[in-house]
Structure 1
Amino acid sequence: MEHLPLIKDNQYLRHFWHPVCTVAELERAKPSSFGPLAVTLLREQLVVARLDGKYVAMRDRCAHRSAKLSCGQVVGSELQCPYHGWKYDAAGACTKIPACPDSPIPNKARVERFDCEEKYGLLWVRLDSSFNCTEIPYFSAADDPKMRIVVQEPYWWNASAERRWENFTDFSHFAFIHPGTLFDPNNAEPPIVPMDRVNGQFRFVYETPPGMDVPDQAPIGTFTYHCSMPFAINLAVEKYSTNSLHVLFNVSCPIDETRTKNFLIFAREQGSDSDHLHIAFNDVVFAEDKPVIESQWPAQMMADEVPVITDKVSVQYRKWMRELSEAARDGAEAFKAALHEPVIESERQYSDLRTV
Structure 2
Amino acid sequence: MNALTPLTADQSYLRHFWHPVATVNELEAADPAGNGPIGRTLLDEPLVIAKLNGKYVAMRDRCAHRYAKLSVGKVLENNRIQCPYHGWEYGASGRCELMPACPSDAIPKKAFTPAYACEERYGIIWVRLDSSWDCTNIPYCEAWENPEFKRQIIAEPYNWDSSAERRWENFTDFSHFAYVHPGTLYDPAYSEPAIVPVDRVGGELRFFMEPGRDMLDTLPDDSPLGSWNYRNSMPFSVNLSIRLYKNDKPFLLWTTSSPTSQNSCRNFMIIAHTEDDLPDSQPLDFQKLVLAEDQPVIETQPGPIYLDEVSLPTDKISNQYRKWLRELSTAAAKGEEAFKAALFTDVTESK
TM-score range, shorter chain: over 0.9
Q: Post-superposition shift, 1:144?
A: 3.0
Point out the more displaced range, 24-33 or 319-328: 24-33
Q: Post-superposition shift, 1:110?
A: 1.2
Kindly indicate whether residue 110 of structure 2 is the aligned counterpart of residue 105 of structure 1. Answer: no
Match of 2:148 in 1: 146
Kindly indicate whether residue 162 of structure 2 is the aligned counterpart of residue 159 of structure 1. Answer: yes
Deviation per residue, 1:15-63 (Å, 9 max, x gap): 0000001111111112221000000000000000000110000000001
Match of 1:263 among 234, 245, 268: 268
Match of 1:252 among 252, 257, 270: 257
Deviation per residue, 1:201-254 (Å, 9 max, x gap): 011100011121111111110000000000000000000012110001110010
Matches within 5 A, 1:33-112: 33-76=34-77, 77-112=79-114
Kindly indicate whether residue 210 of structure 2 is the aligned counterpart of residue 207 of structure 1. Answer: yes
Identical aligned residues as a percent: 54
- Give yes or no for contact 2:82–2:89 (8 Å, CA) kept in 1: yes
In the alignment, residue 61 of structure 1 is paired with which amino acid?
Answer: R
How much is the aligned-residue C-alpha RMSD, in angstroms? 0.9
Match of 1:229 in 2: 234
Match of 1:301 among 298, 305, 309: 305
- Give yes or no for contact 2:148–2:250 (8 Å, CA) kept in 1: no
Q: SS at 1:255's partner residue?
A: strand
In the alignment, residue 344 of structure 2 is paired with which amino acid?
Answer: H
Q: Post-superposition shift, 1:146?
A: 3.1
Match of 1:128 in 2: 130
Match of 2:180 among 166, 170, 177: 177
Q: Post-superposition shift, 1:142?
A: 2.0
TM-score by length of 2: 0.97
What is the CA–CA distance in structure 2 between the aligned matches of 1:143 and 1:199, rounded to whole Å? 18
TM-score by length of 1: 0.96
Q: Post-superposition shift, 1:8?
A: 1.1
What is the CA–CA distance in structure 2 between the aligned matches of 1:220 and 1:49, rounded to whole Å? 40
Kindly indicate whether residue 309 of structure 2 is the aligned counterpart of residue 320 of structure 1. Answer: no
Q: Post-superposition shift, 1:103?
A: 1.4
In the alignment, residue 35 of structure 1 is paired with which amino acid?
Answer: G
Q: SS at 2:318's partner residue?
A: helix
What is the CA–CA distance in structure 2 between the aligned matches of 1:124 and 1:276, rounded to whole Å? 26
- Give yes or no for contact 1:38–1:70 (8 Å, CA) kept in 2: yes
What is the CA–CA distance in structure 2 between the aligned matches of 1:117 and 1:66, rounded to whole Å? 26
What is the CA–CA distance in structure 1 between the aligned matches of 2:116 and 2:152, rounded to whole Å? 28
What is the CA–CA distance in structure 2 between the aligned matches of 1:30 and 1:145, rounded to whole Å? 34
**Structure 1, unpaired ranges of 5+:** 348-356
Match of 1:12 in 2: 13
Q: Post-superposition shift, 1:185?
A: 0.5
- Give yes or no for contact 2:95–2:111 (8 Å, CA) kept in 1: yes
What is the CA–CA distance in structure 2 between the aligned matches of 1:129 and 1:314, rounded to whole Å? 28
- Give yes or no for contact 2:17–2:128 (8 Å, CA) kept in 1: yes
- Give yes or no for contact 1:146–1:270 (8 Å, CA) kept in 2: no
Deviation per residue, 1:92-132 (Å, 9 max, x gap): 11111111111111122111000000000110000011111
In the alignment, residue 172 of structure 2 is paired with which amino acid?
Answer: T
In the alignment, residue 277 of structure 2 is paired with which amino acid?
Answer: S
Matches within 5 A, 1:233-244: 233-244=238-249
In the alignment, residue 177 of structure 2 is paired with which amino acid?
Answer: F
- Give yes or no for contact 1:238–1:246 (8 Å, CA) kept in 2: yes
What is the CA–CA distance in structure 2 between the aligned matches of 1:103 and 1:86, rounded to whole Å? 13
Matched pairs, number = 346
Point out the more displaced range, 144-153 or 239-248: 144-153
Kindly indicate whether residue 346 of structure 2 is the aligned counterpart of residue 342 of structure 1. Answer: yes
- Give yes or no for contact 2:206–2:231 (8 Å, CA) kept in 1: yes
Kindly indicate whether residue 26 of structure 2 is the aligned counterpart of residue 25 of structure 1. Answer: yes
In the alignment, residue 37 of structure 1 is paired with which amino acid?
Answer: I
Q: Post-superposition shift, 1:271?
A: 3.3
Q: SS at 1:4's partner residue?
A: coil
Q: SS at 1:138's partner residue?
A: coil
What is the CA–CA distance in structure 2 between the aligned matches of 1:135 and 1:123, rounded to whole Å? 13
Kindly indicate whether residue 221 of structure 2 is the aligned counterpart of residue 216 of structure 1. Answer: yes
**Structure 2, unpaired ranges of 5+:** none
What is the CA–CA distance in structure 2 between the aligned matches of 1:195 and 1:179, rounded to whole Å? 26
